[in-house]
C-alpha cells in the first residue's frame, strides 16, 4: 500500500520507499507552472534535466546546456515545490574534476534550490568528493546523453555480457563512493532488475524495465509534445485522460501499481 506523505520529501523518504517495495515516481520539470502541476499530482521526484537543451531550447543534444541554464531552471522549479524531492543535472564538462564538480554542485544547491545533483558516468572521484562535502549525488549509467558523440547513437547499452558487467561494477562503485540514488537509462530490463536488487540505494529506470525501484520520463514525452520523435520506452499518457494533470496522475498511478513500463516499453 502506498503511503501518503504530506510533508516535503527527503532522501530518507525516497530510500524508505525502496525498502518497503513502493515504486518511486519521477518526472522532468523545467519551469514553475509544470513543476507545480507535477508536484500537486503526487510525483515523488522532480528532475531538472539537461534534457531541457533539446525539449525547451531546441538543440539536437544536451551538450550546449550551461550551468547558468541549469541554475535558472532549477530555481524556477524549486520556487513552487511543496512536496517533491528535487534533483538537478550537472551539465556537460561541469564535473570533469572534483573541485569543478563541487563548484557546479554548490551553484545548483545554493542558487538553484536543488536537493541533489546528478552526473553521468562512473565519475567515482567526483562522487566521493561531493559526498564528502555533504552534497547528495545521483549517478547515471547506461545510455549517457552527454557522451552521444562517443556512443554515436542513442541506443541500448549493456546488451553484451562484458558491457553488462561493466555497468554492474560501475553501479557498485558509485554506491560505495556514497551515491544516494542511481538512474539507469536504456539498458536491458533483466540487467536493470539485477542491479536494483543488488543495490541498497534506489534505482530509477528510464527505458530499463519494470524491475527498477522507480521510473522517470521526460515530461514532454509523457504529454506527447515536443520537436522530436517520442522514444519507444515512453508512453503517451494524454490518451484517455482529460488534460495535463490527469495524464500526470495516470502516469503516477501506473508506476505505483507496477503497470508501467510494460514489455513494449522495455528492452
Q: Which residues are catalytic?
A: 185
State how far the Cα of 224 lies from the Cα of 209, in Å rounded to an integer.
20
Kindly state the cell numbers that stand for 193. Answer: 532488475
* CA nearest to 61, candidates 184, 147, 179, 185: 147
> What Rg, from alpha-carbon coordinates, does the chain have?
17
State how far the Cα of 45 lies from the Cα of 39, in Å rounded to an integer.
8
Burial class for 253, CB neighbours closer than 10 Å (0-12, 13-18, 19+): middle
Kindly state the cell numbers that stand for 230. Answer: 517520442
Amino acid at each position: 500500500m502506498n503511503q501518503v506523505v504530506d510533508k516535503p520529501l527527503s532522501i530518507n523518504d525516497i530510500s524508505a520507499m525502496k525498502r518497503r517495495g513502493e515504486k518511486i515516481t519521477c518526472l522532468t520539470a523545467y519551469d514553475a507552472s509544470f513543476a507545480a502541476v507535477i508536484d500537486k499530482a503526487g510525483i515523488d521526484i522532480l528532475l531538472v534535466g539537461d534534457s531541457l537543451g533539446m525539449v525547451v531550447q531546441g538543440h539536437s543534444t544536451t551538450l550546449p546546456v550551461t550551468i547558468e541554464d541549469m541554475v535558472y531552471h532549477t530555481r524556477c522549479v524549486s520556487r513552487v515545490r511543496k512536496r517533491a524531492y528535487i534533483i538537478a543535472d550537472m551539465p556537460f564538462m561541469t564535473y570533469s574534476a572534483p573541485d569543478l564538480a563541487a563548484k557546479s554542485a554548490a551553484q545548483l544547491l545554493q542558487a538553484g534550490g536543488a536537493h541533489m545533483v546528478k552526473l553521468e558516468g562512473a565519475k567515482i572521484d567526483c562522487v566521493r568528493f561531493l559526498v564528502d562535502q555533504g552534497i547528495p549525488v545521483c549517478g547515471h549509467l547506461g545510455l549517457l546523453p552527454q557522451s552521444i558523440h562517443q556512443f554515436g547513437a542513442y541506443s541500448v547499452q549493456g546488451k553484451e555480457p562484458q558491457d553488462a558487467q561493466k555497468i554492474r561494477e560501475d553501479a557498485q562503485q558509485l554506491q560505495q563512493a556514497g551515491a544516494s540514488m542511481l538512474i539507469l537509462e536504456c539498458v536491458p530490463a533483466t540487467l536493470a532488475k539485477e542491479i536494483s536488487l543488488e543495490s541498497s540505494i534506489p534505482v530509477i529506470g528510464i527505458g530499463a524495465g519494470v524491475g527498477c525501484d522507480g521510473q522517470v520520463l521526460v515530461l514532454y514525452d509523457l504529454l506527447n509534445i515536443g520537436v522530436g520523435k517520442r522514444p519507444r520506452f515512453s508512453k503517451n499518457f494524454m490518451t484517455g485522460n482529460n488534460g495535463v494533470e490527469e495524464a500526470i496522475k495516470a502516469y503516477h498511478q501506473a508506476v505505483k501499481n507496477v503497470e508501467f513500463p510494460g514489455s513494449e516499453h522495455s528492452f
